[in-house]
Structure 1
Amino acid sequence: MTTDTERDDLIAELADARAALLGTTDGLTDEQAGATPTVSALCLGGLLKHVASMEENWLRFVVEGSSAVRYDLPEGVTWADILAGTAREYPQWMIDHQNEFAMQPSDTLAAIRARYADVAKRSEDVIRTVPDLSVTHPLPDAPWDARTGQKWTARRALLHVIAETYQHAGHADILRETLDGQKAT
């Protein structure tokens, strides 16, 4: 049984994780948010875009199950082609996923942060209203993920979102410190 206290705790922990990530972008220009100051291709704006998208996808999973997160391939393209990098065509979801990690010319840090705030509000609504956090859904088929075929509770998916947000906040700390010496507080 899910209690209001459990829901409040999940919402609070997710808010703390988001704050850790968002704090790394405080005071930055769009140019700084798009900079890649390490040997990695990661940038702060891209991390925010990715985490917002990831949270949105997992919260859809909580409500709708694995049908909400699909990895369809173009006709005639196989996972072997995709994983080998030899596909004649790549699915749009894969292209969109790659584009999440970079600031596109039309992106602004303010708009990315606003979208993340919208996602956060919807997530809080879902956490408050999903009937049972113990409901299980099978994970979507994804050949790069060893967990394919497992079942996760809504609670586990939410814990995964929290963990991934904190993980990316750590990446963001490194990027910000490399960018201008600013350290997380």
Structure 2
Amino acid sequence: MPRVVPPVADERTALTAYLAHQRRALRVTAHGLTEEQARMAPTGSELSIGGLIKHAARCEEFWTDLILQRQRGTQRKTDESDADEFRLAPDETLTAVLAAYAEAADRTDAVITGIPDLGQAVPVPQGAPWIPAEVEEWSIRWVLLHLIEETARHGGHADVIRESIDGATFDPLLAAAEAWPDPWVRPWEPASPSVG
């Protein structure tokens, strides 16, 4: 797959292609990580790559439920803190959260494909402190733009975390994950274990 989004013919294709591209960028930050590394929070925050992917999946589920007018709404488990949303629980694995993210993305894509008008209204759940009180609805277009923004923001967090873990950066990780034959980018390789 190319490093950049291919040319787009229309608004729907542009929005869905850029969302797919940002999802791919977030997923590639996990390439080659161990379970322990996926849980690491090496920066000044509680964020981990596994936790960010878990959060991105939940974010897509939340917005798809809103589009479908299912009332998952702003609720979360009562025993879950903000930090838990961005961490892998002891019983969660990187493989499982990557699979959940792929399922959430497929579901979002299927729902969007079935909606002919990107201007279709999406009711806003009331009472969440991050939603302006005067906003009653968004559009499908707005939701897609928000998902692109949210995914890109967390992809940036994941880039910094990954570089803090083992020095890996996006292009070499992508080249390794997709087995690029391109001589312009040397694919990432795991560090050899120290002998001694």
Instruction: Identify the TM-score tier after normalising by the shorter chain.
Output: 0.7 to 0.9
Which residue of 2 is the match for residue 120 of structure 1? 105
In 1, are the aligned partners of 2:39 and 2:50 still within 8 Å (CA)? yes
Report % sequence identity: 40
* TM-score with structure 2 setting the length: 0.75
The gaps in structure 2 that reach 5 residues or longer are 1-8, 172-196
Q: Are residues 1:103 and 2:88 paired?
A: yes
In 2, are the aligned partners of 1:139 and 1:148 still within 8 Å (CA)? no
What is the aligned-residue RMSD (CA, Å)? 2.1
Indicate how the Cα distance of structure 1 residues 59 and 143 shifts in structure 2: closer, same or farther if over 3 A, else same.
closer
Which residue of 2 is the match for residue 174 of structure 1? 160
Indicate how the Cα distance of structure 1 residues 177 and 161 shifts in structure 2: closer, same or farther if over 3 A, else same.
same
- State the 1:140 CA deviation: 1.4
Query: Distance in 1 between the 2:92 and 2:47 partners?
Result: 15
- State the 1:183 CA deviation: 1.0
Query: Distance in 1 between the 2:79 and 2:16 partners?
Result: 29
Query: Distance in 1 between the 2:61 and 2:80 partners?
Result: 17
Query: Distance in 2 between the 1:130 and 1:29 partners?
Result: 39
Structure with the largest fraction of helix:
1
- Structure ranking higher on relative contact order (CA contacts 8 Å, 6+ apart): 1
The code of the aligned residue for 2:110 comes to D
Which residue of 2 is the match for residue 26 of structure 1? 31
Query: Distance in 2 between the 1:137 and 1:6 partners?
Result: 18
Task: Return 102-111 or 135-144, whichever deviates more.
Answer: 135-144
In 2, are the aligned partners of 1:142 and 1:148 still within 8 Å (CA)? yes
- 1:165 equivalent among 130, 151, 160: 151
Which residue of 2 is the match for residue 68 of structure 1? 71
Which residue of 2 is the match for residue 134 of structure 1? 119
The code of the aligned residue for 1:29 comes to T
- State the 1:161 CA deviation: 0.6
- State the 1:46 CA deviation: 0.3
- 1:57 equivalent among 62, 77, 82: 62
The gaps in structure 1 that reach 5 residues or longer are 73-90
- State the 1:120 CA deviation: 1.0
SS in 1 for 2:80: helix
* TM-score with structure 1 setting the length: 0.79
SS in 2 for 1:112: helix
SS in 2 for 1:19: helix
SS in 2 for 1:95: coil
Query: Distance in 1 between the 2:96 and 2:130 partners?
Result: 31
Query: Distance in 2 between the 1:112 and 1:136 partners?
Result: 30
In 1, are the aligned partners of 2:67 and 2:140 still within 8 Å (CA)? yes
Which residue of 2 is the match for residue 76 of structure 1? none
In 1, are the aligned partners of 2:46 and 2:83 still within 8 Å (CA)? no
- State the 1:133 CA deviation: 1.7
Which residue of 2 is the match for residue 85 of structure 1? none
